[in-house]
Structure 1
Amino acid sequence: MSSKAQKFSVGKTQTFSCSYLSEEMEQLLVIQEQGLDPSLFEQLLSLGFRRSGSTIYRPDCPHCNACLPIRIPVNHFKPSKRQKRTLNNNKDVNWTIVDHHTEQHYALYERYINERHRDGGMYPPSPEQYHNFISSTWLSPMLIELTLDDKLIGVAVTDILPNSFSAIYSFFEPDEHKRSLGSFLILLQCRIAKMMQKEFLYLGYQIDKSRKMAYKRDYNPHQILTSSGWNPPIPSDKDPTLPPL
């Protein structure tokens, strides 16, 4: 079904405690659609929506607008000195693209949530919670695996859309914190998006007041969705240079 013909309904949740800003109450616009067209989903991404499982949502909080949709125009992205060090420090890490979940993926996810996010909304983890969060009935994500000495140390779950990637979630080996694997996976998604001739990597929401979510502004240039559209405008002069991974 083409995106022009497709219809869907938008609902609104009740208010509930915000997972990122403890003093705020959260409310979401939600779309629950079992057969969404990827092109239409990409249009919704450009309007600030995100995917969790098969549900599409966007914050619509009564007294807060801290969640700012953010994306990277991958053809213009230039890694910082710190990000270049991250790339260099992970030259011994192998990456592979797969299209199916494994028991190893969940075991790593469980360990990651238990050790890094016990105070978050995804704790405690379970196989059902993992599947409902990562999987979708209408879109199969790409899974980027990181391995070191044949051991799985990281996974990025990424939606592939006609003109963009959407980073759903990444999880990695907590004991390898010195490698900055979360940053490495974003850099890797930028690289693969460019290889696949995509224009944007959507990173979800930037929340300046949240320590856990403020890192996304470190990837430059980036664009923030405002009332006047995505700003700043994409630079006119492209610099396609990226260091090798």
Structure 2
Amino acid sequence: MRHTLPIAPQFYVTAPQPCPYLEGRMERKLFTALQGDTATKLNDSLSKQGFRRSQNVLYRPSCAECSACMSARIDVSKFTPTRSQRRVSKRGAYLDRRATSPWATEEQYDLFREYLDGRHATGGMADMDMFEFAAMVEETPIRSRLIEYAHNRKLHAVCLTDILDDGLSMVYSFFDPALEKLSLGTYIILDHINIARELGLPYIYLGYWVPGSRKMDYKAKFEGLEIYKGGQWTPLGDPSQYSSDVHPLSNDPIAEQVAQIKLPDGRI
């Protein structure tokens, strides 16, 4: 009988490109493929180490001179809504939530296009067509769901969500930009906190928080927010104490970063 050892994931670095969060900066990502029988365990393990999923790839920032981007998650047990957030929950209470398999529809894409045109017309996803949208939604080797929010059968908001062993990872969300007064982006996060509590999961993974980026300010408003910094999760504390200043020694060399990654079978 032939025995084969599991193949360790290979890590790569993207070429530098303009940062979408901080003007004048260049971003670079460390990434690995997410595939095969170990995809779920690898996704669970690396998500705890600041990685994010995009289709069949796991990545995290690895910029040469900048360490502003930090993975963020909400500790559900420590979250208490603010008065403003309670108002958001109340305003959105009329919406019906439905969890579906990750299968793209034309209705979702139409809402996605409205969202991009209204909120991110010059962003990197601005030119995505239906086929690219379908790939973003459907190409997932792990347990993912589309959480839809609708009223009278009209779709108002959608979130592509991964179900991890310790929480929910909000991969990408979009909503009707004409309903600005409903604060649907905040409402989706608040409802995911409710879902996590229903499932007994301790964390909501929100992607990255970037001090100095107005696009990311809203994440710091959630009590119980933690950031991944220096190889561990710590409470955010006072957001004003964080800096987005550039320093040539901000990040360890790539080889050292890879050597510190813990794989799901206990290897490093």
Question: Is contact 1:163–1:200 with CA below 8 Å preserved after alignment?
Answer: yes
CA-CA distance at 1:193 after TM superposition: 1.1
Superposed counterparts of 1:153-192, under 5 Å: 153-192=156-195
**Which one is further off, 5-14 or 84-93?**
5-14
CA-CA distance at 1:145 after TM superposition: 0.8
Question: Is contact 2:119–2:177 with CA below 8 Å preserved after alignment?
Answer: yes
Compared CA separation, residues 83 and 6, structure 1 to 2 (3 A)? farther
Aligned mate of 1:65, from 64, 67, 72: 67
CA–CA separation in structure 2 for the residues paired with 1:55 and 1:16: 18
- Structure 1 equivalent of residue 98 of structure 2: 96
- Structure 2 equivalent of residue 26 of structure 1: 27
Superposed counterparts of 1:1-245, under 5 Å: 5=6, 7-35=8-36, 36-99=38-101, 100-227=103-230, 229-232=232-235
CA–CA separation in structure 2 for the residues paired with 1:98 and 1:187: 19
Spell out structure 1 runs of 4+ moving beyond 4 A: none
Q: Deviations over 1:90-124 (max 9, x none)?
A: 12111111113322111111111112111211112
CA–CA separation in structure 1 for the residues paired with 2:97 and 2:40: 26
Question: Is contact 1:20–1:210 with CA below 8 Å preserved after alignment?
Answer: yes
CA-CA distance at 1:6 after TM superposition: 5.4
CA-CA distance at 1:40 after TM superposition: 2.1
CA–CA separation in structure 2 for the residues paired with 1:121 and 1:29: 18
CA–CA separation in structure 2 for the residues paired with 1:192 and 1:161: 13
Question: Is contact 2:29–2:60 with CA below 8 Å preserved after alignment?
Answer: yes
CA–CA separation in structure 2 for the residues paired with 1:147 and 1:75: 28
Q: Larger helix proportion, structure 1 or 2? A: 2
CA–CA separation in structure 1 for the residues paired with 2:7 and 2:43: 11
CA–CA separation in structure 1 for the residues paired with 2:217 and 2:33: 28
**Which one is further off, 149-158 or 32-41?**
32-41
CA–CA separation in structure 2 for the residues paired with 1:7 and 1:71: 27
CA-CA distance at 1:140 after TM superposition: 4.4
CA–CA separation in structure 2 for the residues paired with 1:18 and 1:86: 31
Q: TM-score, normalised by structure 2?
A: 0.81
CA-CA distance at 1:5 after TM superposition: 4.3
- Identical pairs, percent: 34
Number of residue pairs aligned between Structure 1 and Structure 2: 230
| Alignment gaps of 5+ in structure 2 | 237-268
CA-CA distance at 1:9 after TM superposition: 0.3
Q: Deviations over 1:160-215 (max 9, x none)?
A: 11221100011111111110001000001111011111111100100121111121
CA-CA distance at 1:230 after TM superposition: 0.7
Task: Please give the root-mean-square deviation of Cα atoms over the aligned residues, in Å.
Answer: 1.7
Which of structures 1 and 2 has the bigger CA Rg?
A: 2
**Which one is further off, 66-75 or 5-14?**
5-14
Q: Deviations over 1:29-88 (max 9, x none)?
A: 011232243122111011111011111111000111110111011132111111000001
CA–CA separation in structure 1 for the residues paired with 2:43 and 2:11: 14
Q: TM-score, normalised by structure 1?
A: 0.89
